[in-house]
Amino acid sequence: MIAGRRVTIPLRKSEDIVRMRQAVREHAIAQGFSLVDQTKLVTAASELARNTIEYGGGGGVEIVEVANGARKGVNLIFSDHGPGIADVELAMKDGYTSGNGLGLGLGGAKRLSNEFSIDTRPGEGTRVTITRWRL
C-alpha cells in the first residue's frame, strides 16, 4: 500500500468533528469516491471521532490517501490516550454502550469500512484504523 497526501486533525471538542468530516469528504472526493462511498466513510469517521472525544478524552485523526496498484482509498487513524477499552469484543456488539449512545459506533464503523482494526490497552488509550477503498 502506498501512502499519499495526509493531514492530521486534533479531536478535542464537538466542533472538531465538523472540520474532520469536511476533510474526510475532500480526501474521498480527491480519490474519486462516489457519493454513496463518501457518505459511508464520513459516517464511519463521525462515529469514531465522537468516540475519541467522548470516551477517549480527545485525541486526533490522521487522514491518508492510499493506493494499492490501481485501487485508491482513504485510510483514517483515530488515536487517543484515554482509558482504553477493557473488553473489545463486547464493545463491538451492537447495542453495547459505556455511555449514553446507541451502541452502534464501533460496529457501525466496521460495517461501513472495507478494513478495520483496533488496538487498545486499558489505561493507555485506543487506536482505531479504518480504510475505505473506491469500489
pLDDT value of position 129: 97
Q: What is the pLDDT of residue 87?
A: 79
Type of residue found at 38: Q
- 36 versus 85: the higher-pLDDT residue is 36
The CA distance from 116 to 129, in Å, is 6
Of 72, 27, 25, 67, the C-alpha closest to 46 is 25
H or E segment at 104? none
Residues 57-112: pLDDT tens digits? 999 999 999 999 889 999 999 999 999 988 788 777 766 555 555 445 788 899 99
The pLDDT score that the predictor gives to residue 133 is: 97
Output the pLDDT for position 94: 67
Any idea of the CA torsion for 26, 117, 108, 12, to the nearest 10 degrees?
-60
| Residue ranges of domains in the chain, CATH in brackets | 2-133 (3.30.565.10)
Q: What is the pTM of this model?
A: 0.89
Instruction: Round to whole Å and give the CA distance between 79 and 77.
Output: 6
